[in-house]
Structure 1
Amino acid sequence: MRYVAAYLLGAQSGKNPSKEDIKKILGSVGIECDDKRAEQVVSQMAGKKADDVIASGLTKLASVPAGGAAAAAAPAAAAAPAAAKEEKKPEPEPESEDDDMGFGLFD
């Protein structure tokens, strides 16, 4: 993801960034650059405009259903605290006078 972010940051200049541009951007924030990954991003984006790739990604993302998973998880999450409340912690046993082995602090 950092390589794509560096590519998009470099694309803000109006040109298609090279592998060296990505390496320079990542290096500026102290991240070592893997040449293979940088080259992969550059080759995948060759001949494409970043704006067009983002726009096509947004249309794909819009078709992903997201409402059902959250609604199904809510009842399960509500049941968990109820189960935790039902469990009772064992009562601590009262201290007996023999616990201090016959020696008291103020005896």
Structure 2
Amino acid sequence: MATSELAATYAALILADDGIEITADKIVALTDAAGVDVEPIWATLLAKALEGKNVKDLLSNVGAGGGGPAVGAPSAAAGGAAAAPAEEKVEEKAESEKEESDDDMGFGLFD
């Protein structure tokens, strides 16, 4: 990873640790104070990616694997009957999204 990318990431972590909103201007200001040149577009992209997210929660869940349940989705504890149809939908969706083979398209990769 390039020095400027690390500097922008560290700047975002500093802002999150202090409870300050992460914006492109603040990332650029911190990296400039550190003597690292970061292009404003990268600071903007990082700020947009972290917008509305709790960075501290992201860091504490790094090794947790996979995403959590969707917001508003009923949990098994809240209502097991409501959770069962959602699981069936996921299985049906996975089956319907199977990748088409080359034979189905009328040609093969090595024809």
- TM-score of the aligned structures, taking structure 2 as reference length: 0.49
Structure 2 unaligned residues grouped into runs of 5+: 1-5, 66-111
Q: 1:41 offset after TM fit, Å?
A: 0.8
The residue number in structure 1 matching 2:109 is: none
Q: Larger radius of gyration, structure 1 or 2?
A: 1
One-letter identity of the residue aligned with 1:41: L
Query: Matched residues in 1 for 2:27 and 2:35: separation?
Result: 12
Q: 1:15 offset after TM fit, Å?
A: 2.2
The residue number in structure 2 matching 1:35 is: 40
Q: Deviations over 1:27-46 (max 9, x none)?
A: 11111121111111111101
- TM-score of the aligned structures, taking structure 1 as reference length: 0.51
After superposition, residues 48-67 of structure 1 pair within 5 angstroms as 48-60=53-65
Percent of aligned positions that are identical? 17
Deviation above 3 Å: which 4+ runs of structure 1? none
The residue number in structure 2 matching 1:2 is: 7
- Equivalenced residue count is 60
Q: Deviations over 1:44-75 (max 9, x none)?
A: 10110111111222324xxxxxxxxxxxxxxx
Backbone CA RMSD of aligned residues: 1.3
Matched-pair contact (CA < 8 Å) for 2:28–2:38: yes
Structure 1 unaligned residues grouped into runs of 5+: 61-107
The residue number in structure 2 matching 1:46 is: 51
